[in-house]
Structure 1
């Protein structure tokens, strides 16, 4: 009986923690401020740097397939409004590209970035940083 009760309590705790982690109603942090006489809403975004990964032994054919899957994955996140900006660097450093994620938490950005086929294969490593930006800003 004691083992069953302990198991049920543990199961309940796991369910509560899991439900909090996948809370799709969570919103990004924002705050209002005035700049140059205009009210602006600042939002916390997350910059995901995609760096050269440790696993680079794939054949050229495998690498090309992974690249197609990578682009399709990121394109889908962009179409879903999860990624606002995205693109490669010039390849001269270990940072191969970056994306700006419009999600509520760093953990969510990291989880999504690590689901990228190139990250799963080890060709890219993920580094995530919070970034405050005026909501709705874009490159001009």
Structure 2
């Protein structure tokens, strides 16, 4: 099944889960291959262009965000665009290894070959305790029941 645009509900959902799984590898060089060479990003307050900047950004991200676990869910889609809602948890290496969860939204625009050519991300971090974690070791992120108050 092709995961290139135009998307259907099924292919958009699969594209989101493929991105989720790829990001959970935390392998910047492999992740960067999913983007066009001239891809543009806004990630919070960072503006990034091209796969080399993407790779450098992700390398720095995971130097800070330890024990990273991510879940993405399809929010909406059109022919070549997908919007996702996401949650991820991590230990902040720049803040005493405190556990945090990021809540966010992304909008993605794809090139004809299926690689992402634009990614816009907005997210907010919330400090959580060990007891408040969802994505503990051995837990399938896709099976966690995330209540409506977090959607």
Q: After TM superposition, is the score higher than 0.5?
A: no
When Rg is computed on C-alpha atoms for both structures, the one with the higher figure is: 1
Between structures 1 and 2, the one with greater strand share = 2
Between structures 1 and 2, the one with greater helix share = 1
* TM bucket normalised to smaller: under 0.3
1 or 2 for the larger relative contact order (CA 8 Å, sep ≥6)?
Answer: 1
TM-score by length of 1: 0.23
